[in-house]
Amino acid sequence: MDLNFQKNFSLRPYNTFGINVQSKQFIGAKTTEELQYIIRQKKDEKILIIGGGSNLLLTKDFEGLTLRIESRGIEIIREDEESVTVKVAAGENWHEFVLWCLENNLGGVENLALIPGSVGAAPIQNIGAYGAELKYVFSSCEAISVSNGEMKTFSKADCQFRYRSSIFKNELKGRYIITSVNLLLNKAPHSINDSYKGLIEKMEGKNKTIQNIANAVIAIRSEKLPNPEKIGNSGSFFKNPVIPVSQFKSLQKQYTNMPYYPDSNGKIKVPAAWMIDVLGLKGFRNGDAGVHENQPLVLVNYGNASGKAIKALAEKIQSKVAEKFGINLTTEVNII
Ligand code: EPU
């Protein structure tokens, strides 16, 4: 197989934080066969798998092989009167796939418009926004074992989806490479999910169509979230903490206006953005590492911040939140 392994390769264009670190080797894989070949050939090397590079903070040079998933293809593999199952290659861009669904009048992913990253990365953290999560439409995925290159199919139950998490972020972390994802999408008439607070407001006076939902989500995201092509970022840096009701009640006595959402497992989710805002850190900047001025859950690289500087800022936020609220913020972003 004719593959071009590049040496001492800058990863700057391949991570949305725009961090300039080098990888000892780099290769892009376009097919499953290429992936299997690379894995078997490089089985003794450290491998960093990247898709869109949008959920990643690189803090130092990588002394191994960075493998970028570059497969393409969207295919309808099953269809009946109400729904279709589409098989999407892992290397497809998530938002472009959402646009394809809109063009083909297929519902289910419109609330997830404009989420950066690749389709293959979507199940890893069960991407979610504006009242929807990937798991609502996920059917199954195929993945390659990093240890022996064999293919395995994961059902929805196998993936153990949780809030911004799955088996691929836990027990199987780093052990499989997702190569394609099967999603179950609805034909018209669509069921519309416009229950998220900001979305209801944006949908006022509009017809309940999947295109209008996507337009509303795109408008909200563009108002609030920095465009990674202009200001480096990885979306929400932290997860929203989920705490026991008792802990929430005692916090609420002190912070009567603390926003909260009941979680499906009887606990309470509190917005990390609110806590960071209360701490006065919204818009805080230390050199080129900063807290975004509209959405404090997003850390940003204004130009030449190092991964270490962003990490230090994250740790400062974590310790201030712990000190004031007694809550440990965990990161959503993968720190390498
Ligand atoms: N808030 C503030 N100050 C701010 C911004 C927000 O106090 O400056 C408080 C408000 O109370 C607001 C609440 O935080 O109601 C929630 O804010 P928002 O609706 O922006 O959502 P979020 O909880 O901060 C989550 C996801 C986002 C997703 C939005 C919309 C996580 C970690 N983040 O953010 O996902 O777009 O909801 O569904 O769950 C991502 O994962 O990268 C991401 C951007």
Residue at which a domain ends, from 180, 204, 223: 223
Q: Do 166 and 215 share a domain, yes or no?
A: yes
Q: Do 25 and 85 share a domain, yes or no?
A: no
Q: Do 13 and 94 share a domain, yes or no?
A: no
Residue 26 lies inside a defined structural domain of this protein: yes
| 332 is an active site residue | yes
Residue 1 lies inside a defined structural domain of this protein: no
Q: Do 269 and 198 share a domain, yes or no?
A: no
- Answer yes or no: are the C-beta atoms of 137 and 109 closer than 8 Å: yes
User: pLDDT, tens digit, for every residue of 177-215?
Assistant: 999 999 999 999 999 999 998 899 999 999 999 999 999
Q: Do 61 and 81 share a domain, yes or no?
A: no
Q: Do 199 and 289 share a domain, yes or no?
A: no
Q: Do 170 and 294 share a domain, yes or no?
A: no
Handedness of CA 54, 55, 61, 63 (dihedral sign): negative
User: pLDDT, tens digit, for every residue of 274-304?
Assistant: 999 999 999 999 999 999 999 999 999 999 9
| Helix count and strand count (H, E) for the chain | 8, 20
Classify strands 83-89 and 298-301 as parallel, antiparallel or unpaired.
unpaired
User: Among candidates 135, 26, 120, which has minimal Cα distance to 73?
Assistant: 120
Confidence at 116, pLDDT banded by 50, 70, 90:
very high
Cβ(62) – ligand 1 distance below 6 Å = no
Cβ(283) – ligand 1 distance below 6 Å = no
User: What domain count does the chain have?
Assistant: 3
Q: Do 64 and 18 share a domain, yes or no?
A: yes
How high is the pLDDT of residue 44? Answer: 85
- What are the DSSP calls for 39-57, one per residue? HHHTTTS-EEEESS--SEE
Select from 165, 199, 297, 317 the residue to mutate for testing ligand 1; criterion: most ligand atoms less than 8 Å from CB: 297
Residue 251 lies inside a defined structural domain of this protein: yes
Query: Which residues, including other chains, have CB under 8 Å from residue 101's CB and lie 6 or more apart?
Result: 107, 108, 109, 110, 185, 210
Q: Is 163 exposed, middle or buried (0-12, 13-18, 19+ CB in 10 A)?
A: middle
Percent of the chain with pLDDT over 70: 100
Residue 232 lies inside a defined structural domain of this protein: yes
**The three-state (H, E, C) secondary structure of 268-332, written as one string:** EECCHHHHHHHCCCCCCEECCEEECCCCCCEEEECCCCCHHHHHHHHHHHHHHHHHHHCCCCCEC
**C-alpha of residue 76 to centroid of ligand 1, in Å:** 33
Residue nearest ligand 1's atom 13 by CA: 271
Residue 246 belongs to domain with CATH number: 3.90.78.10
The span from the CA of 138 to the CA of 156, in Å, is 7
Residue 144 lies inside a defined structural domain of this protein: yes
Residue 324 lies inside a defined structural domain of this protein: yes
Higher-pLDDT residue of 71, 44: 71
pLDDT at 251 over 90: yes
Q: List strands edge to edge, sheet with 138-145.
A: 74-79, 83-89, 176-186, 138-145, 151-155
Residue at which a domain ends, from 18, 39, 69: 69
| 171 is an active site residue | no
Percent of the chain with pLDDT over 90: 93
Q: Do 108 and 143 share a domain, yes or no?
A: yes
Residue 65 belongs to domain with CATH number: 3.30.43.10
How high is the pLDDT of residue 68? Answer: 96
How high is the pLDDT of residue 181? Answer: 98
- Answer yes or no: are the C-beta atoms of 233 and 17 closer than 8 Å: yes
Query: How far from 35 is each of 67, 115, 146, CA to CA, in Å?
Result: 9, 25, 10
| 68 is an active site residue | no
Beta bridge partners of 286: 289
Residue nearest ligand 1's atom 23 by CA: 271
How high is the pLDDT of residue 176? Answer: 96
201-205 long-range Cβ contacts below 8 angstroms, 24+ apart: none
pLDDT at 263 over 90: no
Residue at which a domain ends, from 69, 95, 112: 69
User: pLDDT, tens digit, for every residue of 308-333?
Assistant: 999 999 999 999 999 999 999 999 99
Residue 45 lies inside a defined structural domain of this protein: yes
Range of 302's domain?
Answer: 227-335
DSSP 226: P
Residue 187 lies inside a defined structural domain of this protein: yes
User: pLDDT, tens digit, for every residue of 51-110?
Assistant: 999 999 999 999 999 999 999 999 999 999 999 999 999 999 999 999 999 999 999 999
Helix/strand/coil for 140? strand
The span from the CA of 199 to the CA of 256, in Å, is 25
Q: List strands edge to edge, sheet with 289-291.
A: 232-236, 298-301, 289-291, 285-286
In the chain, where does DSSP find H-type helix? 32-41, 94-103, 156-159, 197-203, 210-224, 245-254, 272-278, 307-325
Please count the CA atoms within 13 angstroms of the CA of 303 that sit on its side-chain side: 4
Select from 274, 275, 330, 333 the residue to mutate for testing ligand 1; criterion: most ligand atoms less than 8 Å from CB: 274
Q: Which two tokens stand for residue 137?
A: 């439409």
Q: Do 79 and 176 share a domain, yes or no?
A: yes
Q: Do 65 and 204 share a domain, yes or no?
A: no
Q: Do 198 and 96 share a domain, yes or no?
A: yes
Residue 156 belongs to domain with CATH number: 3.30.465.10
